[in-house]
Structure 1
Amino acid sequence: MSVRQIILLRHAHAEPPAAGQSDESRPLTEGGVCEAHSAADWLKAHGAEPDIVLCSPSARTLETAKCAIEKLGHAPGIMVDKRIYEATPGDLIQVLEEQAEADCILLVGHNPGLETLVALLTDGTSDQGRGMPPGAIAWMHVDGDAPIEPGSASLRHFWWP
């Protein structure tokens, strides 16, 4: 049986909003750029080869995603999906299920949705989140034929800068 890989990457540290600035337009801090590069290095060192990169439309997630695909050495392209911004775990599951043909998905998004999704998929509950600091990676495996649902994934790696 094949295994699907789901790699969740939380955006790195972002600037606080300036007066009149939208939350979506906040860029990474200088330290956040370093975190994004560290996450990209870690993904490359562990052989990540996403077929697709799904990303929230926010500036900070797009910057983080671009760092990742630049370092990985292949560019599957970034698919921006507005549903990832402020997503619930249910929203994220729907986004992931729509990419069922992909063997490896890299999804770049936000908390609390990502940490709750990890807990839901691995433990079957949404109240056991371990937290996902900025720049953190949760790499999960799901049996290729299984739907993405509570308790269906195994956590293979959890890393943060």
Structure 2
Amino acid sequence: MRELILLRHAHAEPAGTGQADLDRPLSSTGLAEAEAAGKWLKENNLLPDCVLYSPARRTRETLEAVLGVIGNVEKRLDDGIYEATPGALAALVEDRRDVDRLLVVGHNPALEQLVALMSDGSSSEYRGMAPGGIAVLQIPRDTAIEPGVASLTAFWWP
């Protein structure tokens, strides 16, 4: 089995006047949520082999807070994660089949829809994913990413 860990960025500040959405920083609450997410991953021995993350400031800051707790791992910025569809995220995951435990730090609604699509077979049956929330999916090693292929093994939020 391989594991896919999906982490929604933690709470961010609202955009200021003239500020681009990509540039929104974490709030103080968000920073605490991101650190709690890192602690949960470490306590549950869910340390990723590789991280893909969105270029948005709030996802980068979420990841840095998590890495501050769990330690550094290979990480790759992927512009496609920002405003991605569940299908686009699934393709990114499929491209990294070589990774035993992949962490994706991104945004809703795509993350929560991907959880539903991979575990239930339909992206319309999603449960919601709080800021800083984590979903852990197990995927059979030699199976392509497709609807219903994964088992949701953990769902956590701060």
Q: TM-score range by the shorter chain?
A: over 0.9
Separation in 2 of the partners of 1:40 and 1:49? Answer: 9
Identity %: 51
Written as runs of structure 1 = structure 2, the 5 A alignment for 1:74-153 is 75-153=72-150
Task: State the number of aligned residues.
Answer: 158
Written as runs of structure 1 = structure 2, the 5 A alignment for 1:1-161 is 3-73=1-71, 75-161=72-158
Show structure 1 runs of 4+ deviating over 2 A: none
Separation in 2 of the partners of 1:77 and 1:52? Answer: 5
Separation in 2 of the partners of 1:24 and 1:54? Answer: 16
Report the CA distance between 1:51 and its aligned residue.
1.1
TM-score w.r.t. the length of structure 1 is 0.96
Report the CA distance between 1:70 and its aligned residue.
2.1
Report the CA distance between 1:18 and its aligned residue.
0.2
Separation in 2 of the partners of 1:128 and 1:67? Answer: 31
Unaligned runs of 5+ in 1: none
Q: Secondary structure at the match of 2:123?
A: coil
Amino acid at match of 1:94: A
Separation in 1 of the partners of 2:67 and 2:3? Answer: 16
Amino acid at match of 2:73: P
Report the CA distance between 1:67 and its aligned residue.
1.4
TM-score w.r.t. the length of structure 2 is 0.98
Q: Secondary structure at the match of 2:155?
A: strand
Amino acid at match of 1:57: P
Separation in 2 of the partners of 1:76 and 1:154? Answer: 25
For the aligned residues, what is the CA RMSD? 0.7
Unaligned runs of 5+ in 2: none
1:51-85 CA-to-partner distances (Å, cap 9, x unmatched) read: 11000000000011111122113x22321000000
